[in-house]
Amino acid sequence: MAILLDGKIISANVKSEVAQEVTRMKAKGITPGLAVIIVGDDPASRTYVNNKKKVCAEAGVYSEEIALPADTPQDQLISLIVSLNNRSDINGILCQLPLPPHIDDKAVIAAISPVKDVDAFHAANVGHIMIGDYTFLPCTPAGVMEMIHSAGVTVEGKNCVVIGRSNIVGKPMAMMLLHENGTVTICHSKTKNIKEICKNADILVSAVGIAKFVTPDMVKPGAVVIDVGMNRDENNKLCGDVDTAAVSEVAGYISPVPGGVGLMTTAMLLKNTVTAAKMQNAFIEN
């Protein structure tokens, strides 16, 4: 039976470390600040934003929500971002995705200063991740790595398979595993023999967005299985990409949904915000 990688416990450890850092920074007159922009009233986005505000408050990070109507013009949103770029009390800027169809998310991401891009979506930060010379890591893949490390698993020399090739999870996830000397395969909708490829993985990360896509016959006995998916099953209950109950009989470690990677994502956002504040204030710990 697989050992559960409990996102609640692992993220609590990260948040506790961040809170201690924030306390030390405040003692020197520095309060990390995060601005979160939400455009429109998408229910899932509202839930995510509320969760981010909550974890900021718990860690002592200043957070400022800016809620804009769904019909906000793109140039107005970009002007807002430029003004936040220029504020010294705001160290991190996050624009909640997805944006309304009339707004080009690439233009919005490009408008955020790379030093305040705590999502690590800006092209400059993506480039730094590619060459391994980075300040920020995208929050969800960084959370996955934290989970793997918490299990005491070494990536070096392992066969690693990432299902999904999105810019937000799949691609940076593959790079992070590669930076730790894993042998990485990315699978996607055009991949042939996906079952056989996954079956060879020592570490399997699924971010495909299909409910219960990963079944026991796709998993190597004893493998680490990380489920990034957030879907609804046939009973409209939250579930991931992995058939958790069945795969738990085969895997060595497994992350649950809910209660897994999602909690890690918000914890790593906090970590990035504090990193940004340190960098912008040239904060050096004694």
Active site residues: 52, 96, 119
Q: Which of 247, 132, 166 minimizes the C-alpha distance to 201?
A: 247
**DSSP sequence for 57-107:** HHHT-EEEEEEE-TT--HHHHHHHHHHHHT-TT--EEEEPSSPPTTS-HHH
Q: Which distant-in-sequence residues (6+ apart) come within 8 Å of 134 by Cβ?
A: 120, 125, 128
Q: Residue 11 has what DSSP assignment?
A: H
Burial of residue 215 (number of CB atoms within 10 Å: 0-12, 13-18, 19+): middle
Q: Cis ω on the peptide bond leading into residue 98 (within 30° of 0)?
A: yes
